[in-house]
Amino acid sequence: MYPKEIIEKLIKAQKAVVLTGAGISAESGISTFRGTGGQWDKVDPMKLATPEAFAKDPKYVWEWYEARRRQLREAKPNMGHDVIAGMEEFFPKFTLITQNVDRLHQKAGSRNPIELHGSIWMARCAGIPSCGEWEDRHELVNLPPQCPHCGALVRPGVVWFGEGLPGEAWAEAEKAALECDVFFVIGTSALVHPAASLPETAIQKGKLVIEINPEETPLSGLVTLSVRSHAGPALELLREKLLANDSA
């Protein structure tokens, strides 16, 4: 699965970046967006994860997010999240960038992942101007919730299609992709932009790019190594190899 020369390069790597997508949470029982049984095969993502959908039917959109939060309250990080959390100790400089909104990386101990698409556990006043954003983990019963400060509607603190990514998060992610020695892209179909342009930048800059995904993606033929596997087992094996060689 991992050729010797790749392991040797990883041992020497100083700056590592990991970009994750919904696939890293699949082994925690969280359905992906586009895979079979994906939470979006029942609903059309472009219909729900958009400001227009929320404006048209805020209750319906919130109900979909609340259903996802209910599933996430029981979810535990999996082996893949754990190994990625451990990479912070292994690589001298390590940056985790995630497209996921589930915060399972934080539950696994990753200290400060860059959340390109926000978090399902954040709520934001949809008033104009907004009263701000706050963490909200409760089971929301009266949907959609009202802003406690101004009474306007409250929306999920995620980035919807057609919305810009948080400026600071994007700038930090781009910088990390440009400066890294190795770029892992794990559990993403690489279809959503601009997140998918990060591994493309790493490839163009000639970095060592390693993809882990049980299926082919548009990146598979372009990366240095495409590991056709579920993230958990592939990352567990990678950790074994790196620790064995590191001490050798």
Active-site residues: which are they? 117
Considering only residues 150, 171, 191, 243, which one is a binding residue for Zn ion as defined by CB under 5 A? 150
Asked if 152 is part of the footprint of Zn ion (rule: CB under 5 A), the reply reads: yes
Is omega for the bond preceding 58 within 30 degrees of 0, making it cis? no
CB of residue 247 to ligand BV8, shortest distance in Å: 28
Closest CA to 186 of 2, 17, 1, 21: 21
* Contact of residue 221 among Zn ion, ligand BV8, none (CB under 5-8 Å per partner type): none
CA 52, 54, 55, 59 torsion-angle sign: positive
CB of residue 14 to ligand BV8, shortest distance in Å: 26
What gap in Å lies between CA 148 and CA 36, rounded to an integer? Answer: 39
- Numbers of helices and strands, H then E, in the chain: 9, 9
Which residues in this chain contact ligand BV8 in the complex, by CB under 6 A? 21-23, 26-27, 32-35, 38, 49, 99-101, 117, 158-164, 187-189, 191-193, 212-215, 217, 230-231
CB of residue 117 to ligand BV8, shortest distance in Å: 4
Tokens of 61: 């959109």
Please name the helix (run of DSSP H) or strand (run of DSSP E) that holds residue 105, with its range, or none.
Answer: helix 104-107
* Contact of residue 25 among ligand BV8, Zn ion, none (CB under 5-8 Å per partner type): none
* Contact of residue 147 among Zn ion, ligand BV8, none (CB under 5-8 Å per partner type): Zn ion
